[in-house]
Amino acid sequence: MQAAPRARVARRPVHGVLLLDKPIGLSSNQALQKAKWLLRAEKAGHTGTLDPLATGVLPLCFGAATKFSQMHLDADKAYETVLRLGVKTTTADAEGDVISERPVQFTAEMLDEVVRRFTGPIRQIPPMHSALKKDGKALYEYARAGIEVERAPRDVTIRALKVLENRMDNAQPAIKMVVECTKGTYIRTLGEDIGEALGCGAHLSALRRIRTGGFDTTQCVTLEALEAMSEAERMACLLPVDALLAGHSVVTLDSENAGRFLSGMRRRGPWPDASEVAVYAAGTNSLLGTAHVKAGELIPVRLLSPLEISETLAQQQVIEQLAESEI
Please identify every residue annotated as catalytic. Answer: 51
For residue 321, give Cα distances in angstroms to 236, 239, 314, 325, 327.
Answer: 11, 17, 11, 6, 10
What are the phi and psi torsion angles at 219 (to 5°)? -95, 0
Cβ count within 10 A of residue 19? 20
Nearest to 191 by CA among 122, 143, 142, 141: 122
d(CA 36, CA 19): 13
Nearest to 207 by CA among 92, 53, 323: 53
What are the phi and psi torsion angles at 229 (to 5°)? -85, 160
Q: Do strands 249-253 and 274-281 pair parallel, antiparallel, or not at all (unpaired)?
A: parallel
Q: What is the DSSP letter of 238?
A: P
What are the phi and psi torsion angles at 160 (to 5°)? -155, 145
* Residue 64 and residue 94 in contact, taking contact as beta carbons nearer than 8 Å: no
The identity of residue 96, as a single letter, is: G
- Radius of gyration, CA atoms only, the chain: 23
Please enumerate in sequence order all residues whose Cβ is within 8 A of that of 211, keeping only pairs 6 or more positions apart, or say none: 57, 77, 78, 180, 217
